[in-house]
Chain A
């Protein structure tokens, strides 16, 4: 994100709108700079032999009432038209920016007064203000510039004020203020530099508007006066004989429109680049993996989920990154599998890919991706949708944002069954009540009539789980289901997940950053680092003899209720590699105390150490993590 943000202009120029707008603007700037020198003579040259001539090879746009070439005048007028527009925006900025920044430096009471003044000025119609000023100041270019500038000042002040207020409310300004940094310095050092970029962007956009307004005033005869001329003035002069020689009027009009479009187009492109964020859930077809599916030996019954060489790719402006790399695992029926990892390890993307919930533009490739024996890589047709809708349920981190606030709990619960299981309303309702009871929600009938906001965070998360149980899920995917909840509630939700698993036999995939949570509910754990599974082990082994140095460091660095407070906590130096710069060897080697030459050059494969434990490490460790010694009683 930071790469895209640091060069918004360059990125904007790569879009079609931005590129064409930039070309037009560059042309206009060139004309403004050089047209008077190149065509100035032609534009002033009076030719009494060709007064008011029409279009000809000699005068492409004809001549005016003194026989001057209109094309030359049009080109020369670029400087005047653009210059006055820039000047007007300058006036608006000179008045508006200090006014808008003032509340940041003033005390609370005076700030409120200034804000009230800005509010009033914004509410006052700008056009009225412009005409008023133009009349008071008299007819002429200067007064027109002044009028447009003053009319634009309130909106500039409002913009500055809003931007400044958001910066003034930030933690870093609060911190500087607490340390006694004077208000004036806060404005100069913190507020103004951070609002500069959006402010300049918006002022550039305003030039387009000012150009239009200026041309309008000139057209009405309130702006530029003869013998000076701008596009508006020329439009006015040409309009009188629009039926005789239309080019004389249309050309200046076209110039105004073109310049306005160019400014707005560039602004639009810039704004888009700055605020680009992938949204929505994609139905993108999972691409077939180039490598043939290899047979995975499955003992006994068919697994709920079988994943082989799953990778997730995200195209970015800097090239495609692969935050999940060739991950393989299976989940047996009734098994709770946890994926632990830090931010950026790829744990959530793995779960989303498995649930076919990847957000655009991310996409997945896999050698095998089977859910209950159905190939999830196939097209998303009715049968697959039906399967996913009833047999897979998803619990997200924040229940507040995944429940629809405008529908009752009952509506949201019964909807699933009515659509996917074709239950009638009464049956769906009875099912909803029984499911709410299954997740230990008291007075379930009453809860059905309530809206999400009437429930506590823990209750909402229970409702989410109940919603998942409305079908007969074979797999529950839970992505950090307790991270937004308080500890006392977290424990109850985790216990509930375990109970649901025991009662219904649904398997679960639990994503979390908290290794203690995993140990609490899971049967088996996958530890992810930099997009790969580095260790796969059952929970007992996790507590007694984790093998991968990363797993061990994770356990040792988190204090728990028995950590020796006299000893410093174990730490992992450095930071994980960026997804775009994954090294050739072991991704953890740079931070690992056991790393040797081989670790940096050759990537360790995931190999079985003993039944129920696989690790991708050249130097697997054994024995309990130091801290666990007394508890494990080894």
Chain B
């Protein structure tokens, strides 16, 4: 019963934060920045064809970008939020409230998931209208649904772990740079099959490749599976890899988060404030 009430409070919190993002200029700009640039670039790529086919390169890349956006929101989004809200004392306030930490985490998961899914739907709608060759069948919707849910499940807990471990937001490059490197070898903007073998292996270890692959499987004609590794969408394997990352994240996140939260206190936040102020002046 109590758990249900707290879950409801978390949901309310996520809703409030989502509304704030969509009604606050700077947040909205930050939220739309990458999707708009990506879509713009893809739009310019429409005229080019996937080598060996007559399919538009822009249309091929769009589903991958949807997958990338999901993984980026889940991992980098959560890390950045957790990190900065720990520094500014939001977390300590949650800790001082009965059930507040649970509510905070549920709220954050809802906020990030809803934000990522809204981005997905937005990009998808634009893609279906403006990019030739994309198709959305009932089966595709189902694939996209499970890939999205599992993609968020695989990345959000990892984001919670990273956000708990980073000392402050100035350390964000420690997450951004590896994420960028992983994205580069995940077949998002550049086909993974054109990379050296060992880089293909590296790319396939991480969730980004599989979320992108799943999105392509959902939105592209089945004939295009031919340009993938093994000439197949390999959905069972995508499910397995994403599920393993989810399990790993879910196993680590609560412990790491609790350990971090246990050490939060007024004097810690005050010390961080002082340090950040020194940097600012």
Whether both chains belong to one complex is answered with no
B residues within 8 Å of A by Cβ? none
A residues within 8 Å of B by Cβ? none
